[in-house]
Structure 1
Amino acid sequence: MTIAPRASLGGQPAPNADSLRARFARQTIDSLVRAMRAADSLLDARTSAPPLHAKLQDVLSRLTRPDIGARPLPDLVAERARFSDVARRRVLALTPVEAAAIDTLAALAEQSIRRPLAEAAGAPRARELFVPVDAFNSARRRQSLSESLERLRRFERKYGPDAPTRNLAEVGINYAAQWLPFFGPQSDESPSRFELSAAYVPTWISLPRKGIRSDAISVAEAGLRIYIWKPGWGGREGGILRPGHITVGALAAGAKDGALESPFHGVSRFGGYVAWGNAKIGVIGGRHSRVLITRKVQLLPWTF
């Protein structure tokens, strides 16, 4: 089934996305301001709609600083940039009052000016004046969609089917840690890239060395897991070489080697480890230091 493109007011086809983006690239803040001043004049809003005229003039009065008029609108709504990059450019280009005024102006035009303008001046003239508004609003919608998909991708990376398995201790400490700096949800409601790791792991294997055979070693782990948000990393797409997370932390092993030994029995041995995804390598000290390897697995759900 073919769906026809949405027609604009007046029954004529709306500009397609490519032509809209091409024209948008040439638009500036001045373009937007001039278009809305022209619309206000064509509507004779001063007499026909005094509240609308007053609101429009109030918003336009906040965009009179000479050095912002030539600012390209694409710098304020970058379709392929990260949200933080866009926000940084807006801060450098505009004051908070000016940034809010542009958002308000675009919303006011869409909600209160478009239809009356088409009726008063005709659809072709309305479409021409609304090029900056249409381009700005459509780019903001695309940006909003992109940001929403990125948040969902991060949630899937951290909590989805390919995320690290967690035990009850990790669930509890990370629930408590969400109120600490860097561990709670971000300002854009995406998850933190940091997570605490704590586990009892009986599946570490020591590498053989002269006079010492390879053996299983049970250890207690405590570390910091860091998620990698970069596209192409994690899951099946990233595979072993580009995992979705790394972990660094400390190890504690008991005095005796062996599976299911207590890591705090006798004189404990301490060391550290690094995990590249699920693959882990560590070292413990003591009279005979050992190099350890393992792969993250959970033998019993929610335990170890």
Structure 2
Amino acid sequence: MSRADVIGGVSGSPRTVAPQEEKSRLRTSGLLRSELLTTFRRWRTVTLLGVLAVIPVLVGIAVKIETGDGGSGGGGDGGGPAFISQITNNGLFLVFTSLAATLPFFLPMTVGVVAGDSVAGEANAGTLRYLLVAPAGRTRLLLVKFAGTMVFCFAATLVVAVFALATGAVLFPLGEVTLLSGTTVPLSEGLLRALAIAVAVAVSLAGLAALGLFISTLTNSGIAAMAATVGLLLMVQIVDTIPQLHAVQPYLFPHYWLSFADLLRDPVYWDELVKNFGLQALYTAVFGSAAWARFTVRDITA
């Protein structure tokens, strides 16, 4: 079945029978299905997910080797990579460590690549005009592109979490989870908290996804859009580490990324989590609107 058949919804169905809303829904779902199939069939996407899958395995093996002689795997106050100190006691903490290790760069880099290529890549390949003729409509197509990028955010985060959990289960014991507040909970609750953390991490990438989508509407070069998105990510990360710029740091989209650690407290500390989600919603609204404003008036020549 060609991409046109997928986008069209139900190939060969009597279009005059279905109501307008039903045809619109089928067209949108078909376009989203086509977008997801195209995204996850690309070798670039498979490679990026493969790299993310390898990272928790390498972290687990490194901790296992270092603690094999009875040494400590590190530790700290429970923030970010300090979860390493808990891995030898409970392999579930490899999930939290791996997410903390990949979140500053590896996870957002993969999202930046996918988001930056979303529109510009279609223009560069000469398929953007074809998609709009399908018919898709510019607003619908832009929403589908953002939805596809967010699906990738969840997929990438789950790849890290699942491979970390599998590696942790093989190399280390699993059991009751001692939270950062000192409370001990059953493994089942620990798994639920791990899932909640994975969802929180994926949602934390929404602002970057919207920013990458906006940049993607500015150029016909997918490589340029990907490079600009990742470059901007690195610049913002650097700004977020300079003490003299503390006044602007709370408004930077990666500032509260590691707030997911508060989900490992009893009770959960919601302050920074709410700030993080609110900041991602703000970036999504601002850059999503900017992407829509740019894309709806753009002259599509490819």
Report the TM-score, using the length of structure 1 for normalisation.
0.21
Which has a greater percent of strand? 1
Task: Flag the structure with larger Rg.
Answer: 1
Structure with greater contact order relative to length (CA < 8 Å, sep ≥ 6): 2
Report the TM-score, using the length of structure 2 for normalisation.
0.21
Which has a greater percent of helix? 2
